[in-house]
Amino acid sequence: MVPWWAKGSHKGTSVVVKMENPNWSMVELEAPSEQDFLIGSTPTGSREKIRGKNAKQLTWVLLLKAHRAAGCLTSITSTFLSFGSTVHRRVASGRTDDNDIETDENKAVKTGFYNCIKVFLWLSLLLFCFEIAAYFKGWHFGAPNLQLQYILSVPLGFKDLFDWLYTHWVLLRVGYLAPPLQFLANVCIVLFLIQSMDRLILCLGCFWIRLKKIKPIPKHEAVADLESGEDSFFPMVLIQIPMCNEKEVYQQSIAAVCSLDWPKSRILIQVLDDSDDPMTQLLIKEEVHKWQKEGAHIVYRHRVLRDGYKAGNLKSAMSCSYVKDYEFVAIFDADFQPSPDFLKRTVPHFKDNEDLGLVQTRWSFVNKDENLLTRLQNINLSFHFEVEQQVNGVFINFFGFNGTAGVWRIKALEESGGWLERTTVEDMDIAVRAHLRGWKFIFLNDVECQCELPESYEAYRKQQHRWHSGPMQLFRLCLPDIIRAKISVWKKFNMIFLFFLLRKLILPFYSFTLFCIILPMTMFVPEAELPAWVVCYIPATMSFLNILPAPKSFPFIVPYLLFENTMSVTKFNAMVSGLFQLGSSYEWVVTKKFGRSSEGDLVSLVEKGPKHQRVGSEPNLEEIQADLKQEQKTRKTKHNRIYTKELALAFLLLTASARSLLSAQGIHFYFLLFQGISFLLVGLDLIGEQVL
């Protein structure tokens, strides 16, 4: 008699295996039928068949799982082998960052900083070996409280000696190392919280601007005057394009500036060429001559001696006798491409606004999606423009001039002392001096000027070094002037504490000290501790706020957080160099460009470019083509670079992460592990394009 639960049952099917070269995948595995469980009522032969069928099913399942495990192991092994070969190739053929050192003073400064990092690294390795030995000898502890366990299985003599050494090491930690380390950690935490509060207030200000739709609007009369088309309503504008050995981008910038919608008789374009390469000089001259034949009011200037770098170049150009005939000056770096209506959207703000000295526009980037490095830079600069500069422009009418894509009132430049060559941040220098004399600035977030981001870590690193050493040079020079200036106490406080100290000095100091030195040291001195909210929650919140102006970059929030901490070593080194006037603070290296163009630029060139390209180009066509071919050959030869400070910090953080496992500090372990990997990738130059 068949039981009721067996009625209507169907026979189970065997495993259906789909074989797809080179992998197998199991499509279906049905459960056994009810008869498989009816041992008592099933004949002996049927039971044997069922057992055989189940055994075959189990064999297939085990084979499939084994195959998948083998495939996974093979994939992991190949990944590690590929990474290992890449590391070996980079180390074997790479150039260290020491190759860029030009003077003995710079070498001493950079070597000293690197030696300090190496001391921390070797000390951490020594302590890690000591702690491993102590762990296996029975000294177990959990963070943050030490929990000693005495084990008697070790031979007496060695155990007494080791216990004596480790006991005194623990007492040394508790009595002498932990208190100052904890004090320094607390100081950095306070600075971290102050800077985080400043960033939060800026974000709230940006939210308020968006909510109330606040933005600078020129007076209606000024816009109407421009729309009337009469030359008497168009002020005289001088445009300057400083460049130096930038043959990849000079054509784009000159073409964009010559295409500005402004009466030709009321505009003059100065191409300020500091190039020391004869071929580059020839190409730029040819381009200027070509546009002169097209009717553009453009001149070429070349300096034999490149004194003062960009500041000296601009200062020399402003000394020309014809400059007195112009009221405003617009400045564009060699890779910037303003839209045709740029002047019509910026110059009207000056009309009937005699206190306005500067109109700054936002940058947009033609290569922001080129690689991971450019994506991370886009996050940083989007926050800088939309939050920092827009909020400061709306509420206090002051921010640092960006050096390009802005229009100055020439009277403001002259009254502020003109361009000075005393620092590597001549743009910030002139902005500070103009603000101290009462000039106001406005920032136009809705007017964009296209440019390029550095695509190699080497170029980005040198740019950041200049951007973070220059402000400290300027702070030393301007502090007495700020104190004596006849401006309100609030403006003095804002300029000294917020503009210089908090955002230019404190930020790189605590970022490097707290996350790259103190945090790994607390793994070896567990009596001093950093709370989890300092290591994880606050940084994650700040990264979230930073990424809000670039919402499409949210998938890169974790790499952004890690990369910002990785860049802290460069920014800290630059800040110290500028603050103490060390040799490396005076380095000026032109940021390498690749001549990227957006789709809109290419369409514009197709529509407007052919007639320009034919004028005056044929005599040197073969020479230029040969030069371009040689340039393409040169681009194929790229160097790998090894960054010693980043690698040393990578091993320091990875050692600290391994040490944190002994204390079961989960969140600290993951942070140190991923931060160490980030330093390792940067140290091996595995982010961004390689250097030519």
CB distance 527 to 146 below 8 Å: yes
For the four alpha carbons of 416, 419, 421 and 425, in that order, the dihedral sign comes to positive
For the chain, what's the residue count? Answer: 692
| 147: CB partners within 8 A, 6+ apart | 140, 141
Kindly tell me the burial class for residue 523, based on how many C-beta atoms sit within 10 Å of its own C-beta (0-12, 13-18, 19 or more): buried
How many of the other CB atoms lie within 10 Å of CB of 511?
Answer: 23
- How many Å apart are CA 362 and CA 364, to the nearest integer? 7
User: Which of these, 261, 454, 430, 308, lies nearest to 358 by C-alpha position?
Assistant: 430
- How many Å apart are CA 501 and CA 581, to the nearest integer? 16
Residue 614, token pair as written in the block: 């034919």
Collapse the DSSP code of 292 into the 3-class scheme (helix H, G, I; strand E, B; otherwise coil) and give the result.
Answer: helix
| 290: CB partners within 8 A, 6+ apart | 612, 615, 616, 617
308 DSSP assignment: T
Residue 509, token pair as written in the block: 């100091």
- How many Å apart are CA 48 and CA 296, to the nearest integer? 97
Catalytic residue among 274, 333, 429, 685: 274
Amino acid sitting at position 675: Q
**30-to-34, 38, 68, 176, 325 alpha-carbon distances in Å:** 12, 18, 20, 68, 90
- How many Å apart are CA 82 and CA 85, to the nearest integer? 5
DSSP lists the bridge partners of residue 19 as 24
Catalytic residue among 333, 427, 429, 685: 427
User: Which of these, 310, 313, 318, 293, lies nearest to 302 by C-alpha position?
Assistant: 313
Q: Establish whether 274 is a catalytic residue.
A: yes
- How many Å apart are CA 573 and CA 580, to the nearest integer? 11
Collapse the DSSP code of 223 into the 3-class scheme (helix H, G, I; strand E, B; otherwise coil) and give the result.
Answer: helix
Instruction: Return the half-sphere exposure (C-beta side, CA atoms, 13 A cut-off) of residue 498.
Output: 18
Collapse the DSSP code of 271 into the 3-class scheme (helix H, G, I; strand E, B; otherwise coil) and give the result.
Answer: strand
**76-to-24, 25, 82, 83, 87 alpha-carbon distances in Å:** 19, 20, 10, 11, 16
- Continuous H helices in 137-155: none
- How many Å apart are CA 151 and CA 140, to the nearest integer? 10
Q: Establish whether 627 is a catalytic residue.
A: no
**Over the range 602-618, which residues count as b (16 or more CB within 10 Å of their CB) and which as e?**
eebbeeeeeebeeebee
CB distance 662 to 669 below 8 Å: no
Residue 15, token pair as written in the block: 């495993």
The catalytic residue positions are 274, 427
